[in-house]
């Protein structure tokens, strides 16, 4: 018995529909890309479920997508014979958005209609793009395995509600019928539809079928008047269906047969990114494990790159059969921005996420794919500074066009994904050296994040025995840190690290190419051969003369500082905070607390500049206790921290000013 009910859209869907129907007209044709992509996904899901239940294929084992139109009715229909939907699934999938996709979608809108339209698929709301061209959409569907009488019809005009009723549908799968608006009648044209499908969906591995058309001359109404009595001719449908796409998976074709535009279009389809990728690699790997990889590095970071709950990974196929999206076991977490396809010839078709974690073949694929991505990045990095330059003989070097195209791409990549790449230092021990060579930082000689460890080593001063670096919350805080003063005075370059992940990542990297890494905020400063004997002697004498004051400072600050000592690292500042060589930096401790995690309770070391006027005033001052605490709190402020008791700090400063 047919049952009919009217239901309301989820509030977020209603908001999205209003946006789609009133704003996103500048790139209408993306609706066809999204609906065909959804149809292909539905067929992939049936193929996957059918691995364990072949009865789901019923009497139609060949999966396909059909596109048809009716000029008289002004309808465009996209039909697939994939998994289909039950009535409850139609209500759930078409009436609500399960994730916070809509909220994120709205937040990303820029006001550029063309760019905004491209966001639709990225947020998993591709079905609603149909309302860009339609004032009503009818969906008829039956889930594979259900009886013909358990079909469903879903109808909406894209406003506040939709109708659902049960229908009899012999064919499994889904038909989406778009009732086109007057301004979208161009899609009632076979040539236009083929053009759009070739542009966006040629890579779909399923056949996309359209009914053939042929020209038919107009018939004579009045045989005696051949010139004026003939009806106009036109294209008529023949009843035969033809495949209008290549219908073979792009990654299975020879590389020489694929254009750059086709590679880029395939990337856009699988990633829902409107920008072309930065680079890609397409390879067939043979050996103990056989697989094909087509891996892309995006040009821009996705909006949810730092979302811990977001699944990431590449699409997994086994012998061209789709198995799963986001196969995270095939790519390490620090490469979660990589998009693409891996098609294995060895994995079983019924492989699960649990089996992926344990499979030796999967580990081999993961290692090979990781190395391939790192090779792509190394290639970009190698060409990053490559330009046309006159050689020693005055002859201008010839720069290969392909090399020229890669210039500047690594800098662009690193600005988007550099912080994520650093996570690999702690996650991927086997590739740590390769990753270290790919890292880039700002430094005291360059504000731009382009300085690698190799660049730094090439510029090290004679006698310098360490690569010096400092971590801070911002570039300004790093550049103006008092801990850099002696390094600036001596012209020693220091790397400025300002990503939140730096502090953690550097715990796993202690040297580069045999040269130790040394934080300028840890331990006593020791410039070794860079400090002459006269300087060392003067520092020792100052420390000896300052011993009585140091003892009083240690007593006054015993609750705040682990130790107080004289330093040679300061030139203009009175004091700074450091930690012991094996201690956790105050910045990392702050970050852990801000993230709600437990941080060990450690006290920093206060280093003072015995030559500074403020420090000299300490000796014999009646305000010794207040000055000592001000010195400590100001050192804390200089490195981005806050005094434990800000009110007390202000009170002390005001008292001294008065």
Same domain? For 511 and 540 the reply is no
Residue from 440, 283, 288, 299 nearest 372 by CA: 283
Using the CB atoms, write b or e for 566-594: b if 16+ within 10 Å.
bbbbbbebbbbbbbeeebbbbbbbbbbee
pLDDT at 323 over 90: no
Is residue 285 very low, low, confident or very high in pLDDT (cuts 50, 70, 90)? Answer: very high
> In 181-233, at which residue ranges do the beta strands (DSSP E only) sit?
208-216
Same domain? For 374 and 500 the reply is no
Between 355 and 39, the higher pLDDT residue: 39
Domain that holds residue 447: 441-520
User: What local confidence, expressed as pLDDT, does residue 402 receive?
Assistant: 63
Same domain? For 504 and 540 the reply is no
Choose the weakest-confidence range: 172-176, 381-385, 393-397, 437-441. 393-397
C-alpha distances in Å from residue 302, one per residue of 121, 305, 338 = 13, 5, 11
Query: In sequence order, what are the residues at sequence separation of 6 or more whose Cβ sits closer than 8 angstroms to the Cβ of residue 394?
Result: none
Choose the weakest-confidence range: 153-162, 226-235, 246-255, 646-655. 226-235
Choose the weakest-confidence range: 13-17, 251-255, 438-442. 13-17
Domain contains 186: yes
Domain contains 467: yes
Last residue of a domain, one of 520, 549, 573: 520
User: What local confidence, expressed as pLDDT, does residue 414 receive?
Assistant: 94
Same domain? For 104 and 13 the reply is yes
What is the domain-level CATH number for residue 462? 3.40.50.11260
Same domain? For 153 and 68 the reply is yes
Domain contains 429: no
Distance CA 174, CA 352 (A): 27
pLDDT at 419 over 80: yes
Residue from 571, 454, 431, 447 nearest 514 by CA: 454
What is the domain-level CATH number for residue 316? 3.30.230.80
Domain contains 166: yes
Same domain? For 67 and 213 the reply is yes
Residue from 369, 380, 368 nearest 336 by CA: 369
Same domain? For 149 and 19 the reply is yes
Same domain? For 178 and 276 the reply is no
What percent of the chain shows pLDDT beyond 70? 82
Same domain? For 103 and 214 the reply is yes
Q: What are the two backbone dihedrals, phi and then psi, of residue 517, each rounded to the nearest 5 degrees?
A: -95, 135
For residue 230, the 8-state DSSP code is: B
What is the domain-level CATH number for residue 625? 1.20.120.790
Segment 205-234 shows an average pLDDT of: 73
Last residue of a domain, one of 468, 497, 520: 520
Q: What's the distance, CA 134 to chain centroid?
A: 33
Q: What is the pLDDT of residues 606-629, one digit of tens each?
A: 888 888 888 888 887 888 888 889
Domain contains 405: no
Query: In sequence order, what are the residues at sequence separation of 6 or more whose Cβ sits closer than 8 angstroms to the Cβ of residue 310?
Result: 304
User: What local confidence, expressed as pLDDT, does residue 25 receive?
Assistant: 47
Domain contains 391: no
Distance CA 344, CA 252 (A): 11
Per-chain mean pLDDT for the chain:
83
Report the domain count for the chain: 4
Same domain? For 271 and 132 the reply is no
Domain contains 87: yes
What is the domain-level CATH number for residue 27? 3.30.565.10
Between 91 and 585, the higher pLDDT residue: 91
Residue from 276, 290, 295, 288 nearest 372 by CA: 295
Same domain? For 10 and 133 the reply is yes
Q: What is the pLDDT of residues 461-507, one digit of tens each?
A: 888 889 999 988 889 888 988 888 888 988 899 999 999 889 889 88
Between 465 and 66, the higher pLDDT residue: 66
Segment 163-182 shows an average pLDDT of: 96
pLDDT at 379 over 80: yes
Same domain? For 105 and 157 the reply is yes
pLDDT at 401 over 70: no
pLDDT at 217 over 90: no
Domain contains 265: yes
Segment 154-174 shows an average pLDDT of: 92
Choose the weakest-confidence range: 3-7, 221-225, 261-265, 557-561. 221-225
SS3 127: helix
Is residue 123 very low, low, confident or very high in pLDDT (cuts 50, 70, 90)? Answer: very low
User: What local confidence, expressed as pLDDT, does residue 146 receive?
Assistant: 96
Q: Which residues pair with 4 in a beta bridge?
A: 165
């Amino acid at each position: 018995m047919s049952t009919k009910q009217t239901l309301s859209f989820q509030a977020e869907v209603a908001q999205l529909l209003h946006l789609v129907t009133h704003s996103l007209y500048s790139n209408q044709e993306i609706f066809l890309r999204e609906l065909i992509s959804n149809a292909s996904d539905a067929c992939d899901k049936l193929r996957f479920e059918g691995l364990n239940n072949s009865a789901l294929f019923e009497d139609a084992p060949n999966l396909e997508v059909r596109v048809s139109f009716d000029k008289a009715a002004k309808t465009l229909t996209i039909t697939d014979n994939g998994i289909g939907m039950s009535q409850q699934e139609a209500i759930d999938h078409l009436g609500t958005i399960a994730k916070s996709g809509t909220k994120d979608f709205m937040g990303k809108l820029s006001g550029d209609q063309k760019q905004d339209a491209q966001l639709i698929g990225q947020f998993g709301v591709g079905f609603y793009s149909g309302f860009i061209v339609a004032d009503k959409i009818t969906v008829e569907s039956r889930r594979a395995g259900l009886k013909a009488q358990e079909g469903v019809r879903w109808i909406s005009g894209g406003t506040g509600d939709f109708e659902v009723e049960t229908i009899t549908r012999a064919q499994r799968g889904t038909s989406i019928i778009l009732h086109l608006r007057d301004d979208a009648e161009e899609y009632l044209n076979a040539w236009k539809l083929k053009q759009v499908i070739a542009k966006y969906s040629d890579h779909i591995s399923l056949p996309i079928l359209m009914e053939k058309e042929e020209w038919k001359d107009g018939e004579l109404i009045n045989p005696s008047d051949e010139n004026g009595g003939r009806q106009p001719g036109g294209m008529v449908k023949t009843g035969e269906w033809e495949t209008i796409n290549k219908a073979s998976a792009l990654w299975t074709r020879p590389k020489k047969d694929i254009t750059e535009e086709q590679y880029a279009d395939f990337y856009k389809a699988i990633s829902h990114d409107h920008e072309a990728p930065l680079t890609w690699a397409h390879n067939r790997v043979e050996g103990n494990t056989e697989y094909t990889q087509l891996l892309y590095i995006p040009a821009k970071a996705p909006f949810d790159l730092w979302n811990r709950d977001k699944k990431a990974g590449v699409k997994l196929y086994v012998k061209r059969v789709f198995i799963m999206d986001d196969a995270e076991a095939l790519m390490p977490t620090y490469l979660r921005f990589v998009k693409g396809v891996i098609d294995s010839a060895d994995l079983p078709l019924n492989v699960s996420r649990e089996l992926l974690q344990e499979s030796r073949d999967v580990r081999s694929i993961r290692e090979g794919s990781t190395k391939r991505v790192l090779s792509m990045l190394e290639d970009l990095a190698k060409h990053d500074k490559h330009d046309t330059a006159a050689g020693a003989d005055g002859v201008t070097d010839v720069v290969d066009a392909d090399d020229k195209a890669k210039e500047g791409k690594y800098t662009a990549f690193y600005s988007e994904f550099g912080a994520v790449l650093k996570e690999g230092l702690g996650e991927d021990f086997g590739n740590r050296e390769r990753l270290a060579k790919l890292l880039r930082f700002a430094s005291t000689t360059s504000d731009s994040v382009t300085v690698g460890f190799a660049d730094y080593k090439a510029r090290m001063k004679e006698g310098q025995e360490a690569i010096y670096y400092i971590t801070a919350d911002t570039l300004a805080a790093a550049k103006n840190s008092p801990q850099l003063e002696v390094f600036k005075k001596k012209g020693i370059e220091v790397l400025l690290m300002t990503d939140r992940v730096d502090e953690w990542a550097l715990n796993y990297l202690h040297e580069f190419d045999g040269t130790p890494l040394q934080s300028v905020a840890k331990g006593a400063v020791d410039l070794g051969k860079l400090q002459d004997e006269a300087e060392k002697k003067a520092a020792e004498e100052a420390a000896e003369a300052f011993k009585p004051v140091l003892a009083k400072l240690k007593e006054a600050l015993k609750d705040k500082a682990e130790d107080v000592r004289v330093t040679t690292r300061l030139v203009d500042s009175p004091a700074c905070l450091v930690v012991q060589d094996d201690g956790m930096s105050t910045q990392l401790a702050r970050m852990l607390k801000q993230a709600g995690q437990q941080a060990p309770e450690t006290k920093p070391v206060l280093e003072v500049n015995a030559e500074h006027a403020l420090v000299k005033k300490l000796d014999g001052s009646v305000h010794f206790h207040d000055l000592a605490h001000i010195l400590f709190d100001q050192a804390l402020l200089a490195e981005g921290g806050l005094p434990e008791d800000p009110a007390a700090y202000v009170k002390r400063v005001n008292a001294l000013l008065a």
